[in-house]
Structure 1
Amino acid sequence: MEKKMRAIILLLFVLILSACQDEPQPAPEAESEEEAVQVSEEQIAAQARLTEFIGLWQQKDFVQMYDSYLNEGTKGAFGKELFVDWQQELHRELAIQNLAVNVGEPASDAEWSRELPADFKLELAMDSAGGPVEFTKTMSLLYENDNWFVEWDPSFILPGLERGDTVSAVKELAPRADIVDRNGKGIAVNAVGYEVGVIPEKFDEKRIADVAALLDITPAEITTKLGKSWVQPHFYVPLAHIREDQAVLDQLFAIPGTVRNELTLRSYPFGEPLSHISGFVGPITAEQLAERKGTGYETDDVIGRRGLEESFEDELRGVTAGRILIQKANSGETVTASEREAAQGEALKLSLDAELQKRIYNAMDGKSGTAAAIDPKTGEVLALVSSPGFNPNLFIPNIAQSRYRELANDPRLVFFNRFAAAYTPGAALNPLVAAAGLEAGTVEPDATNKTIGATANNLYDSQLQAQGSEAFAKRLADFGFGEAMPFTIELTPSTLSQNGAPGAAGQVQANILHLAALYTAFQNGGSVYEPTLLAGETPKVWLDSVISEANIEPLEAAMRESIDGFTGSLSLIKAQGNENGLFIGYPTEEPPYVLALLVEDVENEDAVAQKVEEIFNK
């Protein structure tokens, strides 16, 4: 009986539950389609206005930002002058560049309504004179006058910045890195120098001419500086920078009212012999400043102006230290908005032997010409000379216009880099033409001496005819003619003629380093390594097996006839009414390097041979 009652109760419960489930339930009240679209439209509209504002911000169009995007409250609080002029001034003085603004995703519970601010989290990053600046800040847009407008304050320029604060940038240049030779000897280094000035009330203006002569400037330059509007009798007035020269310093500071401050100046210890390699630094020009806009350079900076100082400017300069300081208007406290530590540049170690370079330059004795010395087993360039050179120290800190004109008008063309130029090689090409003939079978091994001893024109023309223009051109192209030689410094490519096709021997042009490199093949089993200027570079074959090993011995035997004790070529080449003397070769016994030496306007071969003897025998 009890079991039946339980079954009846359970059945009634199931029936009641089923009846409840079958009864229709009221559906949850859905948002109207119009309301959903309205929320989406407000979000899209606010984000679109923010995107437009950021675009103008990155373009530094502060006028348009103010006129079309700031809300009335911001305009009333700060005004157009502060918003536009102050931002323009700060961006210029702090060298603010590369502004990046990343807009974060809105919060999932964000309410989008015209009655509420639309808040966006911004991640800001920029480069400045004080280093990178990064911060996060929320920007609000308010709906007024039928659109969304930005609520702004000065802390969007720099974190913590307020109206009335004073902003300044402090810069400290990193020491410029040295350029040294293979033995660590300085080619371009930092040395002690002095800024020299006067205190007007203690200085007798009758001594202006004396001071000008010692500083190598004009009296008019001193008078102009003393007449500047900011000058007061007790102020220090800087006049010029000079290198450390005790005799000059003693004379200067015997004159009452003169003052000196120690500083660092660039110095070139080897002077003229390495001038076309080192180059020099000088004040940055307006053109260079425009080219490097946004990279941290300012109008008072120095920059590499020639040679390796220019080519490796980025590596040598390093990273300038900088700080952006905000002096608070309310408390007077100074806070650091951003800071970047200085990092010295990378020292540049060369394969060059500065003493060998100096020896070759001095042996040329001021004659116009060029030279190259290469280690045949590695391709390392041990010397690369252009004569005459100039003294790069004259450009530190800044050369006088009169002195520059004097150098620029020097008939010896001291600024012309001859090792980067191309010359007619004449009979120096004979061993290579003979090698091409041996490879082609158009020169007999037992006739090598006679072949190399032929005039350049006769040998070149005969092989051109014997091999045919196309085959002959291809064999000479194997020696690198018609292509740019891989090298740190740009050199004029060697060519067979202006149109690239073989013509007469006199049309061939080659730079001195290429010629020296080609003669290294005789000591490398017929291959040529890429010439390298930077120390530590891994030797790499440039021209592979351009001379077969079987042909090297007869060619070397023939070349031993040029100069007693040397293997190579010595010849005179007619050039523009004069004769250039050209030697390429190496001592027959224990050759330390291959030397190519070209001296312009010589009387005979002996004039060149004497210089070769002087270079190798010292």
Structure 2
Amino acid sequence: MKKNAIALILLLFVLLLAACQDDPPQPEATEEPKPQPVQVSEDQTAAEARLVEYIALWTKGDFQNMYANYLNEGTKGAFGEAVFIDWQRQLQEELNIQNVKVAHTPAENTDWNKDQPADFNLAIAMETGGGPVEFNKTMSLLYENEDWFVEWDPSFIVPGLEEGDKVSSSKALPPRGEIIDRQKKPLVFNAAGYEVGVIPEKFDRKARTNDLAILLGMTPEAINEKLDQSWVQPHHYVPLAHIKEDQVVLDKLFAMTGTVREEKTMRSYPFGGPLSHITGFIGPITAEQLAALPGYQRDDVIGRRGLEELYEERLRGTAGGRIIIQKANGGGNVTAAEREPAQGEAVHLSIDAGLQKRLYTAMSGKPGAAAAVDPKTGEVFALVSSPGYNPNDFIPNITASRYQKLASDPRLVFFNRFAAAYTPGAALNPVVAAAGLKAETIKADAINKTLNATPHNAYAAAIKAQGIDAFKANLAAFGFGEPLPFAIELTPSQLSVDGVPGSAGQVQANILHLASAYTAFLNEGTIYEPALLFGQEPKVWKKGLVTKEGAESMQAALKTALAKTKLGQAGIAGTLSTVKASGKENGVFVGYDTGNPAYVIALIVEGTDKKTLEAAVLAAFNK
């Protein structure tokens, strides 16, 4: 027993000495990727469990891990990393392979013979730039090195693919859906046209740039800016502009040596500025969008603002295309996938383009916002931000100089004012009066007193009569303090900028909410959710804000409030006032035509007086 103990001690001593010796230099080991844990069921065989793990890596595109830990030695020897990893990654990018899904048929055999392959039936599906690809294939796992490993070949990437084949794809873009107004008048449509460009080495730039600029509706500076881009070489085709199909212009253009034309479908915005903040525009997809959004490719266009962006999924349609395998050794071409393009869906708006344009024109280019709402349905007939811009400037690409000119416009043409909130001033008085009627702190014959009071006095008197908490609750019943349920995100109206209601100057309201609030007086105390799409089922947002009798009293008071003005003489009821905000006077109107109260119009014009505002309102009602 003692001899054994002594021998053990000597052995440990020898091992300790060996450990203290300098180790010979070893090459740096590169750590191979480790398999990711995948949950497998207890009743799965070892072979099937390995397949489940492999499929999980496959759908994630983790080719490095698949190669290092799941491929059998025969596959590695036949194809190597260059084919399995690099080529597979390259094809995924070039063919825009996405949403890979693989399902296997569970094995009935629970005891695979380790000397035989374990075969599983797979159903493979994916999206590609050439259309959806779906196919069935058998995958075999072989037992070696005390585990099961996958046997693979390139046909698991695309059906029929073999090493040495060349793969190409072609894409067919779908027509983008139109945006139409309530009368189905196109607000955005696809027009026939041409992309016009030049090949610099063939184009007499010095002699013909001015002539070309006139025909393209550009400036010579804009053409030179495009021709001087860093990527341009003498033999390159340089696109300059899109033009509509005009044979006279086309004949003149192509009489110039070096010009090139290519038929294109152009996105067209026929109403330009008046609808710019509604329609928005499309543009080339950005790198950030490409990384974040599945199903897009580098040359795609995408909605960048307005409804083009909001309804992108509906408008874009489905691209078509083909995947072609060019077989090695002259074996001909094989179509691996094909899909016809599907046109995007049309978006039918409740907007009345004629009314929209009329409101925009009435504002004479001054900054401001306007809205028109049907009190019986909540349909939005107009939603205006002034001034606007021309979305056609962005088709196909806006020049840097043109964009800079728009961006530096002191009127802030890109700022969407109908999404902003303004101080409503005396336009809030009817809402304050309605709150008083409901709280029974004022009577019908005192409504005009509230309407004619300064906003501060009307607000203060209501708080004194009702108490601050009850007053806040009564105004909150009109939707102040909560987001307006609307397709386009708007700044919520609120009772206080700093969170402590106390004066009318603290109140902020977006233009659409302001118009919607007055619809309660024409609809027996009910406000419908504002609807942007035509034909939507009306949905009640607020109700019981005033009684039927109270609504009639409010109508009478609103008519009296403007009786002595040109508006009243034209049959218009409502409120007309100015309010100081940000160091300037803003004109604010909310009202309707008593002879035909089909809609309530709210109008805010920045930096104006009552007389100018009155003229704008008359023009808005076409009177």
Per-residue CA deviation, residues 570-599 of structure 1 (Å, 9 max, x unaligned), is 111111221111111112223332111111
Q: Report how far residue 105 of structure 1 moved.
A: 2.4
Single out whichever of 307-316 and 534-543 deviates more from structure 2: 534-543
Q: CA deviation at 1:226?
A: 8.3
What's the offset of the Cα at 1:545?
2.0
TM-score normalized with structure 2 length: 0.87
Equivalent in the alignment of 1:62: 63
SS at match of 2:283: strand
Which runs of structure 2 are paired with 1:12-161 in the superposition (5 Å)? 44-108=45-109, 112-161=112-161
Q: String of CA shifts for 1:313-338, please: whole Å, max 9, x gaps.
A: 00000111122111211443222212
1:300 aligned onto 2:312: no
TM-score normalized by the length of structure 1: 0.87
User: In the alignment, which residue of structure 1 is the partner of 2:611?
Assistant: 606
1:188 matched to 2:188 = yes
Q: Which residue pairs with 2:166 in the alignment?
A: 166
Tell whether the 8 Å contact from 1:193 to 1:241 is kept in structure 2 after alignment.
Answer: no
Q: Which amino acid aligns with 2:496?
A: S
After TM superposition, the structure 1 stretch with the greater mean CA deviation from structure 2, 319-328 or 68-77, is 68-77
Q: Report the Cα distance in structure 1 between the residues aligned to 2:533 and 2:473, rounded to whole angstroms.
A: 31
C-alpha displacement at 1:276, in angstroms? 0.3
SS in 2 for 1:617: coil
2:320 maps to amino acid: A
Q: Which residue of 1 aligns with 2:309?
A: 310
C-alpha distance in 2 between matches for 1:510 and 1:200: 54
Greater shift in the superposed pair: 129-138 or 190-199: 190-199
Compare 167-176 and 57-66 and name the one that shifted more.
57-66
Partner of 2:601: 595
Q: Deviations over 1:420-475 (max 9, x none)?
A: 11111111111111111122222132222222211110011011011101111111
Q: Is the 8 A contact 1:373 1:384 kept in 2?
A: yes
**Shift of the alpha carbon at 1:199?**
4.9
Q: What SS class does the counterpart of residue 256 from structure 1 fall into?
A: coil
Deviation per CA, 1:484-541, whole angstroms, max 9, x where unpaired?
A: 1111111111110035553111000001111111111121112111111100001122
Q: 1:192 to 1:186 in 2, by over 3 A?
A: same
Secondary structure of 2:592's counterpart equals: strand
**CA separation in 1, counterparts of 2:318 and 2:548?**
51
C-alpha distance in 2 between matches for 1:224 and 1:425: 49
Distance 2:615 2:204 in 1: 57
AA in 1 matched with 2:85: V
1:247-396 → structure 2 map (5 Å cutoff) = 249-292=250-293, 294=294, 296-396=295-395
Structure 1 segment 423-434 matched on structure 2, within 5 A: 423-434=422-433
Assess if the C-alpha contact under 8 Å between 2:198 and 2:240 holds in 1: no
Identical columns (%): 59
Instruction: Give the letter aligned to residue 461 of structure 1.
Output: A
Q: Distance in 1 between matches of 2:108 and 2:524?
A: 73
* Secondary structure of the structure 2 residue equivalent to 1:597: strand
Tell me the distance in 2 between the aligned counterparts of 1:518 and 1:42: 64
Aligned-partner SS, 2:433: helix
Deviations for 1:98-136, whole angstroms, at most 9, x for unmatched residues?
22222212355x872222122222221222112221111
Decide which structure has the larger Cα Rg and report it.
1
Contact preservation (8 Å) 2:226, 2:238: no
| Paired residue total | 569
**1:379–1:539 contact (8 Å) kept in structure 2:** yes
The secondary structure found in structure 2 opposite 1:191 is strand
Task: Please state how far the C-alpha of 1:55 moved relative to its aligned partner.
Answer: 2.7
State whether residues 195 and 243 of structure 2, in contact with CA within 8 Å, keep that contact through their aligned partners in structure 1: no
Deviation at 1:49, TM superposition (A): 2.8
Match of 2:530 in 1: 531
CA distance in 2, matches of 1:219, 1:499: 51
Q: CA deviation at 1:200?
A: 6.0
Distance in 1 separating the partners of 2:320 and 2:269: 25
Distance in structure 2 (CA, Å) of the matches to 1:455 and 1:42: 79
Output the amino acid matched with 1:48: A
Is the CA contact 2:605–2:613 (under 8 Å) kept in the aligned structure 1? yes
Aligned to 1:436: 435
Distance 2:43 2:164 in 1: 36
- How far apart are residue 92 of structure 1 and its match? 0.8
Distance, in Å, in 1 between the alignment partners of 2:424 and 2:97 is: 54
Matched-pair contact (CA < 8 Å) for 1:43–1:112: no
- SS at structure 2 position matched to 1:132: strand
> CA contact under 8 A between 2:167 and 2:323: conserved in structure 1?
yes
Native 8 Å contact 2:498 2:506 kept in 1 = no
| Residue aligning to 1:567 | 573
Q: Does residue 582 of structure 2 align to residue 576 of structure 1? A: yes
Residues 1:512 and 1:200: Cα distance change in structure 2 (over 3 Å):
closer
